[in-house]
Amino acid sequence: MNGWWVHDLWNSGQRIELIAWIFWVIAAITLHELAHGWAALWEGDDTPSVTGHMTANPVVHMGVPSIIAFLIIGIAWGMMPVNPYRFRHGKWGRILVSFAGPAMNLLLAGCTLIALGVIMKPDVLLEHGFSDVERFLFTGGFLNLILFALNMLPVPPLDGSNILANLSSTVANWYRHPRAQMAGLLLFFALMWSGLFGAIFNFAERVSLFIAYSIANGLQ
């Protein structure tokens, strides 16, 4: 079992980190996809409801392949079926629906980091580190910042690519190429393993800590 992320975190004593990661990955993906669905419904498309995806059940949003990937490597994804041809506001509706998911992650990050800043005592943190509740909130904050940043990358099939495609016909034509989606996925994973993910991860942690510290110091 050595090398399995769940086993390693549990045995290293990082149990609150493990619990927080599992909770926030599932919650963040579920709410991200529901945000897409709510925006699509507002745009006049009932596909999310008809297909049974307007539910809090994370299994519906993640699907079996994503759940398996999450169990193996701790990374997952979700999906919300929509029909862009039903959107009332054309390309602006498509942009809205695409941005709704990342916006939800940004909202979750803001809420958790504000809550962390309210309960956090900077002096105590410097001496003793995070409490379990603070660690839980901090994980939710930086994880959702990561998801916001990753999803805004203009790489198919991420939300950022849909937004950019609706702003530029040239980009849209390139994305329609049969190999664009596969190339996008390969590029995404290449960037992840090249160190980009680690850089985003570290940056999100620093930004989250800065925000929480700023709020905590402002309340003193």
Summarize pLDDT for 90-128 with one digit per residue, the tens.
999 999 999 999 999 999 999 999 999 999 888 777 677
| Domain with 32 in it | 5-219
Residue 60 has pLDDT above 90, yes or no: yes
Average pLDDT over residues 55-80: 94
* Residue-level pLDDT at 10: 86
Please give the DSSP secondary-structure letter assigned to residue 89: T
* Residue-level pLDDT at 1: 63
Q: How far apart are CA 79 and CA 142, in angstroms?
A: 22
Counting beta carbons within 10 angstroms of the beta carbon of residue 72, is it exposed (0 to 12), middle (13 to 18) or buried (19 or more)? exposed
- Is there a contact between 22 and 143 (Cβ–Cβ < 8 Å)? no
Average pLDDT over residues 65-84: 93
* Residue-level pLDDT at 190: 76
Give the chain's domain count.
Answer: 1
Around 18, how many Cα atoms within 13 Å sit in the side-chain half-sphere? 14
Quote the pTM value: 0.91
Counting beta carbons within 10 angstroms of the beta carbon of residue 13, is it exposed (0 to 12), middle (13 to 18) or buried (19 or more)? exposed
* Residue-level pLDDT at 197: 76
Q: How far apart are CA 96 and CA 201, in angstroms?
A: 26
Summarize pLDDT for 39-58 with one digit per residue, the tens.
999 999 999 999 999 999 99
* Residue-level pLDDT at 217: 85
Summarize pLDDT for 129-184 with one digit per residue, the tens.
889 999 999 999 999 999 999 899 888 888 999 999 999 888 877 777 767 767 77
Residue 13 has pLDDT above 70, yes or no: yes
- Kindly report the backbone phi and psi dihedral angles of residue 2, in degrees, each rounded to the nearest multiple of 5, phi listed first: -60, 135
* Residue-level pLDDT at 41: 98
